Every structure is written in structure tokens, then in C-alpha cells.
Amino acid sequence: MNLRQSFNHSKASPARTAVRGAALLPQCDGSVQWLPDAWLAWQDGRLCEVRAATADDRLVTQTATLYLPGLIDLHCHWPQSHVRGQFGGALLPWLREAIWPAEAAFADPQVAEERAKTFLNEILRAGTVGGLFFGPPNVQASALLLALAPPSFFDGPALMMRHAPAELLTPVAQMLAEMEELPADITKRLAVTPRFAPNVDADGLRACAEAMAKHGWPAQSHVSENLDEIKWVAELFPLAKSYLDVYAEAGLLGPHTVLAHGVHLGPKDWELLAQTGTWLAHCPTSNQALGSGRMPLEQAKAHGVRWVLATDVGAGPLLSQLDCMGALLQVHQGHCSVNACEALAHASAIPGEFLAQFDPDLKGLGQLAIGAPAHIIGVPRPAGDDAESVLQELLQTPRNLLESLPTQVFYAGHALLT
């Protein structure tokens, strides 16, 4: 079944619909409630019943299915999806030799449309029902993706004005003006996206902050992913106290901003993230692929920094947030206390809370709760009698099966995959 065709044919299931099976209910505090025999019902695209099943619930036979809320990815480069996992090496050579040439092709509207459709089919198939994406450095390509995507997906064209191939460079003011001219149903899901500090000068970063404040847009970028990158930023911004301070001086930090990686932040940086309420996207599979190092999750926890799990495709090899959940446990073993329940919450309810800031209709995104959007995935039920053991078993799924693991995907109550 073509997921995009199915979504376009029906935005919501008008009739009351229910499923019965085991369910995991992640919360925004990082905990997960376990219902071994759950009854989930929805109508008009929203959950209206979330409870333990009773003897009277005979309409739907209990199945060997485990239900989770649809997953949320707050850092993913959709124009890199077709080359994900194909390149290695350190960050800066990887960008120059592989990624920037690949993204140049998106100036062709036909290429952009074909790859946007493929990407949306694949990410929905993997069980991700909401996200914050980096587009190519082309406003029209981002507009095209958002016109095709469900309303829980946000995107911003990568803003690049220097230190990259000429065909990718555009003045920031021009790009922001083009974004403002898009139709209202597109502009409300745009994000201010300076690619990273080396691609945008101080004036351009300040213009990004002004656009963010003017339109209420989220902002996204990268920070302290790679040691060579950090050295380059220090050369380009000699007055800055740190890489993170470059964004702070521009006015880009705050609760509407997601910065990816943070592998090599200093003590003052962690304090600044916490003080400003800035979100950090932790990308363990990408950090492994590019040899960037281990993000010190214990520092994020100790300082109360809000963090989410993200794929960072195409450095990350899979669109599956389940893959990131498994990598999280593996990478931090022996370094930081983190469990499978936390992993699920940071890939669902918690990033959903970030996106709900920008659209009241997204309240409850990433949760199985009454009134939440009926975005649900079903996977084969693992063994286990509590949330942690069930999730641990689920994350033992071989990596090559994770992207196709969901056997049911519902978006706003409409079955995208059965």
C-alpha cells in the first residue's frame, strides 16, 4: 500500500474505531505505563478511550500486537535519505564530498518531488508520524515537502550563505523573504534552519533570530558535533566564548530551538542550555557513523537539559527511531544510567511536546492519551510482563528489520498500513 496515497484519501476516520492489544503509554516525565490488555478507541482523528480492556470489550479480539504512539523525530535531513548509511568518514569531509553534492540535485523540482514522496512513504512506514526536518538549501523544495506531508511534520530549508559550493549559497535575507511569501498553510510549519555556524555569519544568524521571533517559528541547527568543526567555528567567530555562545549572541537559544549533537560541549554550555530551555537532539547512530564521539548524556541529565532522540539521517543509517532507542542503551552502557522506557519517551511524548508548542491541534502528540491525535503504531508483541522488559525485548529486533517492523500504522485514526 502507498502510504501517501492512503493518507491523502482520508485525513481521519470519521467512525468510532477501536483496537485491542498490549500497549505502552509514554509520559512527558520519561516514564511509561504498561497495559498488558488495552482498549484504544478513537473518533474524528483523536483518542477517546485509553484504558484496560474489560470482559465486555468483545468487538475487537485481543491480538498479539503491541501498540505504541507514533514516534517523533526532531532531527532528520530528508534530502539525505536516499544516501543514508552510504558514506563514512569525519563530518566536514563527509559534507563536502558526499552530502552537499547530493543536495544540489534538489534544485530540480522533479527530483525534489520524487524524493519527497519516497521519503514520506518510508518514514511513515517506519512508524514516525511527526518530525522537524532539514530541507535542502532550496525554499521551494521545503514547500513541496510540507504540501505533501501530514500536519505534524515541520521543515526548514538549510540556510547557507558561505563556505560551501556556490550553487548552494543564497543570502539569508533572501531565503527568509522567500519563506515568508509561501502560502499560510506552509509557513505555519516552517522552521528557521541555519545549517550550522560556519555556513552563516553573525548578521545572518541575527536575521534568523528576528524571523523566528516575528513568525513564531521553531529554530534548528547543529552544535559541537565534531572537534574539527569546533575548531573551525572558533576561527570564524573569534570573540565567541564557545560554539554554543555563537547562537546565544545571535539570540537563537530558547525553548523553541533544537540543536543537534552537543557531543563536545563545555561545562558553561550545559548551564546555558538549561538556563535558556534550549532542546538538544541526541543522535547516537549518527555519532557512531561519523566517529563524532559519545554525547555525555549524564551531563544533560545532571543539568536538566531537555533532550530528545533523533535519527540524523543521512549520517544515521535508518529512519527508525527504534534503532536510535537501541543505540542509546548500547552507547551509554557503563557511562550513564538510561533505560528503555526513557528511550521510548524521548522518541515520542517528549519531542511531541516540543512540536505542540507551534500548533494546539498537536497537543498530546507522541502519547496514547484521551484527546491526543490518534497516531498509533502496532508491532508484534514481545515477551515480558512490564514496560521495561517488553521494550528491552522489542529493541533486540535485528537492525535490518527495524524499518519494516510496524505491522500497523494509523495516522489520525486512518489506517496507513495494515
Domain ranges of the chain: 3-70+364-417, 71-362
**pLDDT the model gives residue 109:** 94
Q: Which amino acid is at 385?
A: D
Residue 214: all three cell numbers together: 516575528
**pLDDT the model gives residue 394:** 98
- Compute CA distances 3 → 65, 121, 127, 407, 416, whole Å: 20, 5, 11, 13, 5
**pLDDT the model gives residue 83:** 83
Distance CA 411, CA 127 (A): 10
Residue 401: is it exposed, middle or buried by C-beta count within 10 angstroms (0-12/13-18/19+)?
exposed
Ranges of residues in the chain whose predicted pLDDT is under 50: 1, 4-6, 9-10, 12
- Is the distance from CB of 142 to CB of 156 less than 8 angstroms? yes
Radius of gyration of the chain (CA): 21
Residue 278: all three cell numbers together: 534550549
Q: Does the structural domain 3-70+364-417 have CATH classification 3.40.605.10?
A: no
**pLDDT the model gives residue 417:** 85
Alpha-carbon torsion (96, 106, 124, 406), positive or negative:
negative
- Domain 71-362 carries which CATH code? 3.20.20.140
Distance of CA 43 to the CA centre of its chain: 26
**pLDDT the model gives residue 1:** 42
Cis link prior to 314 (omega < 30° from 0)? Answer: yes
**pLDDT the model gives residue 62:** 67
- Is the distance from CB of 401 to CB of 379 less than 8 angstroms? no
